[in-house]
Amino acid sequence: IVEAALEQGVAIHHGCGNGSCGDYKGRILSGEGVQLPFMPLLLTPEERAHKQAILCKLQPRSAMRIEARVDGATELWTGTVISLQRL
Ligand code: FES
């Protein structure tokens, strides 16, 4: 999610990019994604239950709507994944 956003010029907030800092978590509003491995303590069971995700380690599996902080923005943006491309 973070990589795709950055490629599209959206300065989605992130830190390490490898799942170890937990600098920013986003929230899945709709759709399906796979959460790739990250430091386990970064997401509490309550956060998981509320659909929070480590966005740098989230791979979409369908069209998704997410909530994320964007650097330089004064409000939350929502975005929609409209296509998937296998790298
Ligand atoms: S940017 Fe560090 S865990 Fe995602």
Q: Is the minimum distance from the CB of 81 to ligand 1 under 6 angstroms?
A: no
| Domain assignments of the chain as residue spans, ordered by start | 2-80
Contacts of residue 43, defined as CB under 8 A and 6 or more positions apart, other chains included, come to 22, 25, 52, 53, 54
Q: Ligand 1 atom closest to Cα of 19?
A: 3
**CA-CA distance, 30 to 27, in Å (whole number)?**
9
> What is the per-residue pLDDT for 76?
63
- For ligand 1, what atom is nearest to the CA of residue 42? 3
Q: Return the CATH class of domain 2-80.
A: alpha beta
Q: Is 56 in the pocket of ligand 1 (CB under 6 A)?
A: yes
The token pair at 23 is: 């600098």
What pLDDT, in 10s, does the model give residues 54-87? Answer: 999 999 999 899 998 888 776 666 667 778 888 7
